Amino acid sequence: MTASDLASEAVLEAVGAGRPQNWARAFTLLRAAADGGDERAGAQLAVLGSDAATGERRDPDIAALLSFPAPVRMSEQPRLRSIAGFASAAECDWLRGRGTLGPARVFDPATGEVGTDPLRNNACAELELDDLDVVTQVVRARIAAATRLPLPVFEKPQVLRYRPGEQFKAHVDYLGPASPAADGQRIATFLLFLNEDYAGGETEFPSIGVRHRGRTGDALFFANVDPAGRPDPLTLHAGNPPRDGEKWVFSQWIRDRSFTPLERLPAASPAG
Ligand SMILES: O=C(O)CCC(=O)C(=O)O
Ligand SMILES: [Fe+2]
């Protein structure tokens, strides 16, 4: 296998695509890819705190990587939590470059189509299996631990970029009755703030008087439904426009059932 094939295999092991999920194998393959000259694989090991620089060849410590500081309760109705220092600055820098940015898209219940929406003029990269890497999957697994919700019900993650004046106007993340029932409900939203060098750009919940500005690596997450599972209008929220500088966010929507799970996609077996 080429170094790049080894790196691709590492992602499939980390995701558990077409096979049981296995961190040890993912890290071993990532190391082999790095040794074979794949620079991105080496960079990922560095982001994950593997000590390549001292030549110790220590594998990343997955137990440490899946741990996080205690969440702070910001509201009970709706259930809204923040975690300072959820991700490292190196992880945030890494996530910022993932995927291909395009206009953010929304589901239109009237037409059943996904299209652009004036409510949301920021740019968005929806990460497909091909865009995933071991670092991104480690962060998603940490999100699964924090939310106590399993990865197979996670939607494709999104990287959001707001330039000055761009915004995601007040909206709810839960799905309305017009959405196909088979797709389940979007029960939770997890936001990871990837930078802090901008003014404005808060995440605002007008119905409960919360306006939050995360620093690099901080997380904000909330249940979109009440404890009985009913959509909760109090979760109305907006991504306010930054006044200067760009705001970058990693956004993970979570369903109550499996929906286009990355894990179910057929494993693309590299040749050789
Ligand atoms: O960028 C923000 O602060 C909000 C993002 C958001 O509402 C979402 O991704 O659903
Ligand atoms: Fe939202």
205-210 mean pLDDT:
98
Identify the pLDDT of residue 148.
97
pLDDT beyond 90 at 98: yes
Residue nearest to atom 9 of ligand 1 (CA): 251
CA dihedral sign, ordered 115, 117, 123, 128: negative
More confident residue, 256 or 271: 256
Identify the pLDDT of residue 261.
52
Identify the pLDDT of residue 51.
66
Identify the pLDDT of residue 119.
85
Concatenate the DSSP letters of all residues of 244-256 into one string.
ES-EEEEEEEEES
For residues 247 and 199, the answer to whether their CB atoms sit within 8 Å is no
Report residue 271's pLDDT band, with 50, 70 and 90 as the boundaries: very low
85-108 mean pLDDT:
90
For residues 6 and 41, the answer to whether their CB atoms sit within 8 Å is yes
pLDDT beyond 90 at 118: no
pLDDT beyond 60 at 270: no
pLDDT beyond 90 at 62: yes
Identify the pLDDT of residue 129.
86
pLDDT beyond 60 at 53: no
Residue nearest to atom 5 of ligand 1 (CA): 239
**Alpha carbon separation from 214 to 197, 218, 239 (Å, rounded):** 11, 5, 12
Identify the pLDDT of residue 258.
78
Rounded to the nearest whole angstrom, what is the distance from the C-alpha of residue 46 to the centroid of ligand 1? Answer: 29
36-58 mean pLDDT:
85
User: Domains plus CATH for the chain?
Assistant: 3-63 (no CATH), 72-264 (2.60.120.620)
* Smallest-distance ligand from the CA of 238: 1
The vertex-62 CA angle with 60 and 65, nearest 5°, equals 95
pLDDT beyond 80 at 104: no
194-209 mean pLDDT:
98
CA dihedral sign, ordered 46, 140, 102, 161: negative
Task: Find residue 191's DSSP bridge partners.
Answer: 220, 251
Identify the pLDDT of residue 257.
87
State the complex-level ipTM: 0.99
Rounded to the nearest whole angstrom, what is the distance from the C-alpha of residue 188 to the centroid of ligand 2? Answer: 10
Residue nearest to atom 10 of ligand 1 (CA): 173
183-195 mean pLDDT:
96
Identify the pLDDT of residue 269.
47
Report residue 267's pLDDT band, with 50, 70 and 90 as the boundaries: very low
Which atom from ligand 1 is nearest to the alpha carbon of 251? Answer: 9
Identify the pLDDT of residue 115.
73
Residue 178: burial class (beta carbons within 10 Å; 0-12, 13-18, 19+): exposed
More confident residue, 25 or 128: 25
For residues 257 and 180, the answer to whether their CB atoms sit within 8 Å is no
Residue nearest to atom 2 of ligand 1 (CA): 239
Report residue 262's pLDDT band, with 50, 70 and 90 as the boundaries: low
Rounded to the nearest whole angstrom, what is the distance from the C-alpha of residue 167 to the centroid of ligand 1? Answer: 9
